[in-house]
Amino acid sequence: MATRLALLGGRPVRTRPFPAWPVFGRAEEVRLLRTLRSGRWGRLDGEEVRRFEERFAAMHGCRHGIAVVNGTVSLRLALIAAGLRAGDEVVVPPYTFFSTASAVVEANMVPVFADVDLDTFNLDPAAAKAAITPRTRAIIPVHFAGQPADMDAMMRLARKHRLVVIEDAAHAHGARYGDRPAGSLGHLASFSFQSSKNLTCGEGGIITTNDARLAGRCQSLHNCGRVPGGLWYEHHLISGNYRLGEFQGAVLNAQLDRLDAQTHTRDRNGRYLASRLAALPGLHPQQRPAACTRHGYHLFMLRLDGEAFGAPRSAVIEALRAEGIPCSAGYGFSLPQQPMFRRKAFGPYLSGAAARLDYGRANVPTSDLLCREQGIWLEQPLLLGRRADMDDIARAFEKVHGHGAALSAWARARRPRRRKEAG
């Protein structure tokens, strides 16, 4: 068997760092300086954001792209553009970042949680169907980790119940579902360009759609309710200034030139890593349906069944980190258990609906299992390396598995000490 676990004093599998993020170079410098010197720093003055919107939308199978300040605002504006009203219900998964649901509350609408699938970690169509009530007006499937949700099922539900589908594609730049890009699969889609994302300018977001009427509403909503041909100080909708600035547009245009090759690399490495890890007992990499023709791999996510693997998740994560593999447990609890939802800390929103809501009763066992016991995340920059880097990751998992008994004993020995320390 390989040397002792690094956690217990052995030699780590790896000491070299993984690729750094973000990746940038001369192209970003040239565009940023050009923007700086032009003095045209705002969306309405320059060309960078406009050009980026066209290019990003086209790459994602859409005629329209509306860039905004982040991927939370893009969700909220998409909901409002779709014509939803105060108190309307929106089905969302519980295993996602806060914004998928908080944007619904900030649009004065009611998030209803439907559990995710244990194999794909995406919204479970049967759970989404069961969550639909006469008040439901929309579904927000998240393409979790960069893998498109079951959009055929989502669109079937939408047709049957006359719902709007907004893809939360914050993780899914460049991903494909069959022969279509993520971002073109629902009525509207929302992407994020926050620092960790596969396409980034620090902070930013975009709404994509093929519907000219919805695009027009988004345009107006992100620009203080102005309308084409209207006066500068003429406002038709309640909204604000959510326009993205030209410096971000400049960075995004340079980053976009890198996206296709980076997505290809992540997809190839992710597939390979999944095939290696699936061979170990108790490890279940995100299952990839045939419809996912390109995975965005914002995260490489897997499920660890501690009993079958031979050691609990927290110890496995510590052991992997000691072996030189950065990883985490991801979300600590499902969204309905967020203090905001449990305490209904909705601020000025949902005043009419709050009394009938009780998120403490949300039944989302798969999401709970992933959060509390089984989910493990590796972040996207790791997948920008070479096959040898994936081999290191696989070897680290294999080594930790091979020392499961020693690791479990270490975890057991540590538990009482921790309790004592806490006491």
Ligand X SMILES: Cc1ncc(COP(=O)(O)O)c(C=O)c1O
**Nearer Cβ to ligand X (48/168):** 168
In the complex, what is the shortest distance from the CB of residue 259 to ligand X, in angstroms, rounded to a whole number?
Answer: 17
In the complex, what is the shortest distance from the CB of residue 24 to ligand X, in angstroms, rounded to a whole number?
Answer: 19
From residue 113, give the alpha-carbon distance in Å to each of 54, 116, 167. 34, 9, 15
Helix (H, G, I), strand (E, B) or coil at 259: helix
Residue with tokens 């039944």: 363
Binding segment for ligand X among 59-67, 167-175, 327-335, 375-383 (CB under 6 A)?
167-175
Using CB under 6 A as the binding rule, the residues of this chain from 88 to 117 that contact ligand X are 96-97, 99-100
Phi, psi of 351 (to 5 degrees): -60, -35
Instruction: State which of residues 52, 66, 72, 269 lies at the interface with ligand X (CB under 6 A).
Output: 72
In the complex, what is the shortest distance from the CB of residue 361 to ligand X, in angstroms, rounded to a whole number?
Answer: 24
Judged by CB under 6 A, does residue 168 bind ligand X? yes
What's the CA gap between 316 and 277, in Å, rounded?
14
Instruction: State which of residues 65, 71, 141, 310 lies at the interface with ligand X (CB under 6 A).
Output: 71
**Nearer Cβ to ligand X (207/396):** 207
In the residue annotation, 197 being an active-site residue is answered as yes
- Total of chain residues touching ligand X, rule CB under 6 A: 14
Q: Which residues of 31-42 are buried (b: 16+ CB within 10 A; e: fewer)?
A: bbeebeeeeeee
Phi, psi of 318 (to 5 degrees): -60, -40
Nearest to 375 by CA among 92, 13, 95, 6: 95
Binding segment for ligand X among 36-44, 66-74, 122-130, 328-336 (CB under 6 A)?
66-74
What's the CA gap between 10 and 243, in Å, rounded?
52
Rg (CA), the chain: 22
Instruction: State which of residues 65, 94, 146, 205 lies at the interface with ligand X (CB under 6 A).
Output: 205
In the complex, what is the shortest distance from the CB of residue 204 to ligand X, in angstroms, rounded to a whole number?
Answer: 7
How many Å separate Cα 207 from the centre of its chain?
A: 15
In the complex, what is the shortest distance from the CB of residue 339 to ligand X, in angstroms, rounded to a whole number?
Answer: 18
**Nearer Cβ to ligand X (103/157):** 103
**Nearer Cβ to ligand X (76/399):** 76
283-285 sheet: strands from edge to edge: 283-285, 299-304, 375-379
Q: Which residues of 328-359 are buried (b: 16+ CB within 10 A; e: fewer)?
A: ebbbeebbbbbeebeeeebeebbeebeeebeb
**Nearer Cβ to ligand X (79/280):** 79
Catalytic residues: 197
Q: Which residues bind ligand X (CB under 6 A)?
A: 70-72, 96-97, 99-100, 142, 168, 170-171, 192, 194, 205
